């Protein structure tokens, strides 16, 4: 079996597995081969791959690689491996959900059958995620059609990257934008998304490939384009959503949500249903990932960090923020369109 996506290449026949190094985009497309759990941990931790759905798939691939390397000697060692990989990017709930399901399956399976079972589960997740992206896009179109019944053109603001580079398939929030281009004249404001610049490097690249008009803006310009009535709606992805609609997403999402609330602009979150954390009623006490100060005090050019200020300066560099449900109008998944605004509760 051979599966080839832009973000990940899986050659099961020869046991060769590669992921696209997204840190080199948009200038070069280079693939990193994954041979063991350390390789998998590193590409997740160092953000060579990112996006909750894709992180989950790559983490599952790490389990399979260790299985074919004969490095899983017992169910207990499997659990240790899962815990190791989960800690690479703990905010992305997909890893935890995938691993939870896989643990249940393998708990009653003979060790000798692990390889095939893990492979089958991995392939199923990949194909399911691709299908979910298509369903999210269609649900997003249905919602936007209902909100903007008489419009033929749309001006959209988005943050970070939520397209094919973050998923397996069309994407989540950006997947909806791609789908909308079939029915509307689309223009997209792309937040640069400091400090990793996923917007200006990755989302801009995807929009360019799709032939969708866009302009990159500094994150700090979002309020100004909203003030000038240049935004019809804001749409973002999410790494984790609690039952009440509280959302953990790329740092800067809360800024946009509060601004949208102030300017009465619809604020929409798009994600697969698998990114909902059914164990949490809200995210009030959720601990977000803090990143290295190097990412804030320098920029990465071809995997070389160049200082933009003194490396000794103290920093606070959260990778994510928490957007309370009261600032969110709608959450779109592959299964539902939830009207939130702090009133509706997502029920298990």
pLDDT of residue 340: 84
Is the peptide bond between 195 and the residue preceding it cis, with omega within 30 degrees of 0?
Answer: yes
Confidence bin at 204 (pLDDT 50/70/90): very high
122 and 41 in one domain? yes
The conformation of residue 22, written as its DSSP 8-state character, comes to: G
Check pLDDT > 60 for residue 310.
yes
| Mean pLDDT for the chain overall | 94
The answer as to whether 348 is a domain residue is: no
Which of 98, 129, 160 is the last residue before a domain boundary?
Answer: 129
Structural domain count of the chain: 2
User: Range of 335's domain?
Assistant: 135-339
Q: Is 147 left (phi over 0), alpha (psi -120 to 50) or beta?
A: alpha
Confidence bin at 341 (pLDDT 50/70/90): low
Confidence bin at 122 (pLDDT 50/70/90): very high
Select the more confidently predicted residue: 10 or 300. 10
CATH of the domain at 184: 3.40.50.10470
Radius of gyration of the chain (CA): 20
190 and 69 in one domain? no
195 and 100 in one domain? no
Q: What is the DSSP string of 13-33?
A: TTTEEEEE-GGGTTT---EEE
84 and 231 in one domain? no
Identify the active-site residue in 239, 246, 277, 329. 239
Instruction: Tell me whether strands 233-236 and 153-158 are parallel, antiparallel or unpaired.
Output: parallel
Active site annotation includes 120? no
Structure tokens at 208: 């360019």
Check pLDDT > 90 for residue 72.
yes
The answer as to whether 263 is a domain residue is: yes
* pLDDT tens per residue across span 141-170: 999 999 999 999 999 999 999 999 999 999
Count of residues in the chain: 348
Check pLDDT > 70 for residue 344.
no
* pLDDT tens per residue across span 43-55: 999 999 999 899 9
pLDDT of residue 91: 81
Select the more confidently predicted residue: 276 or 235. 235
The closest of 282, 276, 271 to 348, measured between CA atoms, is: 276
Q: Round to whole Å and give the CA distance between 326 and 258.
A: 10
């Amino acid at each position: 079996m051979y599966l080839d996506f832009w973000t990940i290449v899986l050659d099961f026949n020869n046991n060769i597995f590669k992921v696209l190094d997204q840190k080199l985009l948009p200038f070069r497309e280079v693939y990193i081969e994954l041979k063991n759990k350390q390789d998998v941990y590193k590409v997740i931790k160092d953000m060579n791959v990112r996006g909750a759905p894709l992180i989950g798939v790559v983490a599952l691939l790490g389990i399979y690689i260790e299985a074919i390397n004969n490095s899983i000697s017992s169910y207990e060692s499997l659990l240790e491996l899962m815990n190791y990989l989960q800690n690479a990017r703990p905010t992305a709930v997909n890893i935890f959900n995938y691993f939870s399901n896989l643990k249940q399956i393998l708990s009653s399976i003979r060790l000798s059958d692990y390889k095939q079972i893990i492979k089958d589960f991995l392939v199923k997740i990949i194909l399911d995620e691709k299908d979910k992206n298509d369903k999210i896009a269609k649900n997003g179109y249905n919602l936007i059609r209902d909100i903007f019944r008489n419009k033929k053109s749309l001006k959209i603001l988005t943050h970070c990257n939520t397209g094919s580079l973050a998923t397996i398939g069309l994407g989540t929030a950006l997947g909806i934008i791609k789908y909308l281009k079939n029915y509307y004249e689309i223009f997209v404001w792309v937040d640069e998304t400091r400090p990793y610049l996923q917007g200006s490097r990755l989302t801009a690249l995807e929009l360019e490939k799709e032939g969708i008009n866009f302009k990159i803006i500094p994150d700090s310009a979002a309020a100004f384009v909203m003030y000038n009535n240049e935004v019809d709606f804001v749409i973002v992805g999410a790494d984790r959503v609690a039952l009440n609609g509280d959302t953990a997403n790329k740092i800067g999402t809360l800024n946009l949500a509060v601004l949208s609330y102030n300017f009465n602009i619809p604020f929409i979150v798009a994600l697969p249903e698998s990114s909902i954390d059914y164990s949490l009623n809200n995210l009030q006490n959720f601990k977000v990932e803090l990143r290295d100060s190097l990412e804030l005090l320098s920029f990465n050019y071809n995997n070389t960090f160049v200082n933009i200020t003194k490396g000794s300066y103290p920093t606070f560099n959260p990778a994510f923020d928490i957007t309370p449900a009261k600032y969110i109008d709608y959450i779109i998944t592959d299964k539902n369109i939830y009207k939130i605004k702090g009133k509706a509760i997502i029920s298990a």
